[in-house]
Structure 1
């Protein structure tokens, strides 16, 4: 793609990891709406033509799993090089509507026209397995504050999940890239914390929706559904939570809420998720690696 042809446009970034045909088809559809970068963390390097990737897509084949943070950084930098002003980020299984893609661009433009120093805008995500539309989140003492996505005015929030979020690329150099050391999990939260610490707004768009499945099959615990993850993901969740608790710029409100939740999470993984001992062992290993400063891939 000619960099000049994308000047001022909103581009999309999709991260692949062992994608199936449906993932490729969803990325190809995004290429119809403007510049699209696919970063493939699958090993080994594969030919995009054999995968069926649309030739309009800027395809980056890493040939190894560098993690979600590094892949997003690569995608964003590619869009900046193309001259884009916004980057809309997606997981490989996300399927945004045409209306959402247009509305995210419009909502960002309107917020900036009002003079808001905005870093990120995102929709409310909808996961029927977990009870429907999830609330937006602010940090509260000992627990997160959940804000219902109602109305049309953007809502100031403390973080947004990556998929479906629209990033103001003019803020990228000031805030900095995603934290490669985290690899996966809490990458979006850490970046949002840094953005807000630098005076940027993170806004939830309550009228917008993205169907998105959070984690694997949920488990039911005393009538409540929790997102399930693999034992390896639980390693990263605990390791990165401990790592962020040790960082001075992370708000104490979030740190305390995580410290309160950790023993309950450990109990849920041990009692309700199989193989129980593998979940427990990798969770405890994650805590230990967080304490000693181990980072990157497991």
Structure 2
């Protein structure tokens, strides 16, 4: 199936600002879906609120555009009711880890089979440039005119500690790497997290003098290295990219189905025993 068959062409051109990295993520996601040969009827994309959440409006699969921070809660309900479906959940850094932080932790803890894609541009874009839990110290934002003093979450370490069974990180500069990681994440049985470092030239770039979108992409290229690179030992300021966790753990829906089957068998056994007692 051609890549453009997965999009809702009537909603284009998109609403993202020129230079925004979210379109690159959408492109890579569509190519990953195509490479996996998934049909549109077996995919459900669930999003919350924010620039990243608009992805669900552009993709011609089953979609839910839900509440801010609650995408994973809605996605959990969909997956439990229809475990055979492939669930994709694109979220921004605030949507996923501020208002949605609690849902994120528990979805990872349960290891429910879905793919969480965190588009990390270190800012709230749609609502006006507020700082997020991933902005980091010394960042200027509309809610931090004298710069932030908050330390950021490390998405990889947070996901690993919470129990996610697949965790990866890349950037919008490394497009082919992003596509491959998304293929791995979607194919993985369990809760998969892909953090994508993305540029927001409109809010983050302007306020923090990062230059154009191209300048921001170049900085991401320079600031990141593959996970197995020896440069990480020489420069602790570099950000590693790659697959950090890829483990085989019991998946929540499968455990739930087993529980229901065991309970049903026990109930049937009790009914048979009761009938036998009544006959006596």
- The answer to whether TM tops 0.5 is no
Structure showing greater Rg:
2
Tell me the TM-score normalized by structure 2. 0.25
Tell me the TM-score normalized by structure 1. 0.24
